[in-house]
Amino acid sequence: SAVISQKPSRDICQRGTSLTIQCQVDSQVTMMFWYRQQPGQSLTLIATANQGSEATYESGFVIDKFPISRPNLTFSTLTVSNMSPEDSSIYLCSVEDALNYEQYFGPGTRLTVT
Amino acid sequence: DQQVKQNSPSLSVQEGRISILNCDYTNSMFDYFLWYKKYPAEGPTFLISISSIKDKNEDGRFTVFLNKSAKHLSLHIVPSQPGDSAVYFCAARRYNFNKFYFGSGTKLNVKP
């Protein structure tokens, strides 16, 4: 399985600011995914990021709020823009193992917006 | 619309006994199901999966059962160990689609 790292592991941010979360994978992958897990909730897919193309966003998530970059096959960033306390969540990136139909997750970024 | 549901937010079991975690889904097009385990401050880790062509898959102490007619799956852990204490998420997908649908999780506490 792929080894995935995320930076930062946690942050406390002020309302109205933006935070960029980095996701690094130890192997080349076609698709990367960004999820949000709000307190006590399930994992919700924000968007799917393919290298070389625009990210595909799920219903309820927009590019202006969550811009994503995917410059190469091992790296992606998610920016949480103009943050409000409702954005306080754990943000997770994942990659798919196409052979096994499984997804592997990074350790997550715990974001608190005050 | 929550297509995958875990109706028990928590479960407490004595060490050595069986833990049974349940999951229900609504979409009959799902054909692959997975269980993930999540410790605090870590990302979910893959545990076990099952294809819709099977009704049981076993891996060591972990067994997943699938009842397609009831749209229900369960994870059995036998025997339960204190290190199994974590939040367990079930997930579902369709083979040709990348999107996973996750339940809200069940927090398992295995008491020594």
Tokens, residue A77? 């960033």
Q: Could B104 and A41 be called an inter-chain contact, meaning their C-beta atoms sit closer than 8 Å?
A: yes
CA distance A45 to B55: 28
Q: Give domain status of residue A43, yes or no.
A: yes
CA distance A103 to B4: 17
Question: Mind telling me how many Å the CA of A96 is from chain B's nearest CA?
Answer: 8
Q: Which amino acid is at B100?
A: F
Which residues from chain A sit within 8 angstroms of residue B5, using beta carbons? none
A92: nearest CA in chain B?
B43
pLDDT in tens, B59-104: 999 999 999 999 999 999 999 999 999 999 999 999 778 889 999 9
Q: Which domain holds residue A36?
A: 4-109
Q: Give domain status of residue A34, yes or no.
A: yes
Q: Could A102 and B105 be called an inter-chain contact, meaning their C-beta atoms sit closer than 8 Å?
A: no
Question: Mind telling me how many Å the CA of B17 is from chain A's nearest CA?
Answer: 26
Q: Give domain status of residue A114, yes or no.
A: no
Q: Which residue carries 């410790």 as its tokens?
A: B39
Question: Mind telling me how many Å the CA of A69 is from chain B's nearest CA?
Answer: 19
pLDDT at residue A53 tops 90? no
**Coil vs helix vs strand at B95:** coil
What CATH code is carried by the domain that includes residue B32? Answer: 2.60.40.10
The answer to whether residue B39 neighbours chain A at the CB level (below 8 Å) is: no
- Is B110 within 8 Å of B81 (Cβ atoms)? yes
pLDDT in tens, B32-68: 999 999 998 889 999 999 999 999 999 999 999 999 9
CA angle B63, B98, B9 (to 5 degrees): 45
Q: Could A43 and B44 be called an inter-chain contact, meaning their C-beta atoms sit closer than 8 Å?
A: yes
- Is B32 within 8 Å of B93 (Cβ atoms)? yes
pLDDT in tens, A60-107: 999 999 999 999 999 999 999 999 999 999 999 999 887 777 889 999
How many independent structural domains does chain B possess?
Answer: 1
Q: Which domain holds residue B71?
A: 4-111
CA distance A67 to B44: 24
State the SS3 of B11-57: EEEECCCCEEEEEEECCCCCCEEEEEEECCCCCCEEEEEEECCCCEE
How many independent structural domains does chain A possess?
Answer: 1
Q: Which amino acid is at B36?
A: Y
Q: Could A48 and B103 be called an inter-chain contact, meaning their C-beta atoms sit closer than 8 Å?
A: no
**Extended beta strands in chain A, E state:** 4-7, 10-13, 19-25, 31-37, 43-50, 56-57, 68-72, 75-80, 89-97, 102-105, 109-113
CA distance B93 to B34: 9
> Across residues A34-61, what is the average pLDDT?
91
pLDDT in tens, A15-27: 999 999 999 999 9
Q: Could A102 and B49 be called an inter-chain contact, meaning their C-beta atoms sit closer than 8 Å?
A: yes
What CATH code is carried by the domain that includes residue A31? Answer: 2.60.40.10
Question: Mind telling me how many Å the CA of A108 is from chain B's nearest CA?
Answer: 6
